[in-house]
Amino acid sequence: MGVLAATLPHVDPAMDSESRAWVAALAGDGGDREAALDRLHALLLRAASFELRRRRGQLAGLSAAERNDLAVQAADDAMMGVLARLGDFRGLSRFTTWAYKFALLEAATKARRLAWRDRELPRPPEDWVAMADPTGRPEAAAEHAELLAALQAAVTEVLTPHQREVLLTVVAGRVPLDVLAERRGTTRGALYKTIHDARRKLRAHLAESGLLAGEAGPAVSAAGAHEAGGGKEERQ
- Domain CATH for 29: 1.10.1740
Please indicate, yes or no, whether residues 110 and 147 belong to a single structural domain of this protein: no
Please indicate, yes or no, whether residues 171 and 95 belong to a single structural domain of this protein: no
Among residues 115, 150, 166, which one ends one of the domains?
115
- 235 part of a folded domain: no
Low-confidence ranges of the chain (pLDDT < 50): 1-6, 9, 134, 136, 215-217, 225, 227-236
Please indicate, yes or no, whether residues 132 and 168 belong to a single structural domain of this protein: yes
Please indicate, yes or no, whether residues 110 and 132 belong to a single structural domain of this protein: no
Please indicate, yes or no, whether residues 36 and 134 belong to a single structural domain of this protein: no
In this prediction, residue 116 carries a pLDDT of: 81
pTM above 0.85, yes or no: no
Among residues 74, 93, 115, which one ends one of the domains?
115
Please indicate, yes or no, whether residues 47 and 134 belong to a single structural domain of this protein: no
In this prediction, residue 8 carries a pLDDT of: 53
- 35 part of a folded domain: yes
Q: Which helix (H) or strand (E) holds 1?
A: none
Triad 175, 189, 213: Cα angle to 5°:
75
- 149 part of a folded domain: yes
In this prediction, residue 3 carries a pLDDT of: 45
Please indicate, yes or no, whether residues 69 and 133 belong to a single structural domain of this protein: no
In this prediction, residue 135 carries a pLDDT of: 52
- Comparing C-alpha atoms, which of 152, 23, 53, 44 is closest to residue 102? 44
Among residues 82, 115, 148, which one ends one of the domains?
115
Please indicate, yes or no, whether residues 78 and 158 belong to a single structural domain of this protein: no
- Phi, psi angle pair for 231, to nearest 5°: -95, -115
Please indicate, yes or no, whether residues 83 and 165 belong to a single structural domain of this protein: no
Contacts of 115 (CB under 8 A, 6+ apart): 58, 59
In this prediction, residue 193 carries a pLDDT of: 93
- 33 part of a folded domain: yes
**Could you give the C-alpha distances from 62 to 33, 106, 175, 224, 231, in angstroms and in order?**
35, 17, 21, 32, 27
User: What is the tally of structural domains in the chain?
Assistant: 2
- 20 part of a folded domain: yes
Give the range of the structural domain holding residue 189, as residue numbers without chain letter. 128-230
Please indicate, yes or no, whether residues 140 and 222 belong to a single structural domain of this protein: yes
In this prediction, residue 127 carries a pLDDT of: 56
